[in-house]
Structure 1
């Protein structure tokens, strides 16, 4: 009689189940018990060590890491800070400029031609303010491209730097400068130019956008500049000084 093929499979399955139940029963039997350490369970050698600790000189020593010497820091002297000027307070006038590059002796031809220039008003003048030229006549309004400090509305200014003075038919120009790189001006004794400070103008608010490459942030810079406005009140041609007076002025200046 042949054995059925399902019989070995049943035997193998039963053996696996028996081993599984055996491992579970063994795991259930294992329990953990917490034991508290008492003086009876601790050996006497350890108790003696606790009662008589080892002196520190007998303990192994390790070399301490060497530290680099610290350099003493220099004491920073607290310098007294200058007080900041008040924003609303008017600034002082700029220092007086150096003497103009003009000849002490007037050319003899000026004594002959200057009366002809004087006989033909109105006059025009090319005056220089802070190194910038302005071609003006009497009654003109000049808006300076900056804010002039040290002046207020209603002040009268004398513009004594000019490189050109003329009328319809005659023109007086400044000579060549004695030093290279400097500007020569007409002798201030030959003309008079006065201007009145009308006030201060403010331009409309400007907003400029500043960006950088590959960045989304946009910086807005606001500016609102102020400018001083002058009105030319007088332009006259003076009488040429007498030769004796010119020599006296040259001696006094020397």
Structure 2
């Protein structure tokens, strides 16, 4: 029993001489999947100058492509004596329309249309005929005549008949002020004038010359 205890004590004091496990040398691990490589993109060192890209365009050089002209082609030349040439064609076509101005408000109407003015026209009665002599556009299906800013009143005749006046229901708005018990009622009842375009004619050159 004593020999066994002595042997165990000696083994504890002496360094262990057990053989370490043998480790295999490092081996290169082969990848399970490989990636396809593409050729690198090489940018040109100096930009290629296009012959049409002139830095400072002159008479012999062309304007750069990056800059576009606002009018690549010259606008068409105006038709000489367009009023004398196209006015008979405009007058011959049916279905004329006109943009008349009444107290600064433009209205696009045809013959037979009704206009509800946003105010009550003073000095008119139902049945009165008004001559509308301010217009900016007159046209038909294929032709349009524009004024700068208005068309000569000798070119057309536009008359409107007063049908009457309309009124909206009475509106009452209660107005109050902060920290005051007093209340004030504001009543409003707007009235409107109703017109009907009874006549719309476009004159010919002979009628214009005769009237002038």
TM range (shorter): 0.5 to 0.7
Would the aligned equivalents of 2:155 and 2:208 in 1 still touch at CA under 8 Å? no
- Which residue is 1:119 aligned to? 92
Q: Say whether 1:212 aligns with 2:177.
A: yes
Question: Gaps spanning 5+ residues in structure 2: where?
Answer: 1-79
| Residue 165 in structure 1 maps to residue 138 in structure 2 | yes
Which structure shows the higher strand fraction?
Answer: 2
- How many pairs align? 133
Distance 2:103 2:96 in 1: 22
In the alignment, the residues of structure 2 paired with residue 135 and residue 198 of structure 1 have an alpha-carbon distance, to the nearest angstrom, of 19
Which residue is equivalent to 2:198? 233
- Between Structure 1 and Structure 2, the one with more helix by share is 1
**Considering only CA atoms, is the larger Rg found in Structure 1 or Structure 2?**
1
Helix, strand or coil at the partner of 1:164: strand
Instruction: Rate the CA distance shift 1:174–1:203 in 2: closer, same or farther, 3 A.
Output: same
Structure 2: distance between partners of 1:141 and 1:243: 28
| Structure 2 Cα separation of the partners of residues 131 and 163 of structure 1 | 11
After TM superposition, the score normalised by the length of structure 1 is 0.49
Kindly provide the CA deviation profile for residues 77-136 of structure 1, in whole angstroms up to 9, marking residues without a partner as x: xxxxxxxxxxxxxxxxxxxxxxxxxxxxxx821011011111221111100011111111
What do the CA deviations read for 1:201-244 (whole angstroms, capped 9, x no partner)? 11111111212222232211111121111000111111124796
Displacement of 1:150 after TM fit? 1.5
CA contact (8 A) 2:162 2:196 kept: yes
RMSD: 1.9
The 1:244–1:135 alpha-carbon spacing in structure 2 relative to 1, beyond 3 Å, is closer
Q: 1:242 to 1:198 in 2, by over 3 A?
A: closer
Counterparts of 1:242 and 1:137 in 2: how far apart (Å)? 22
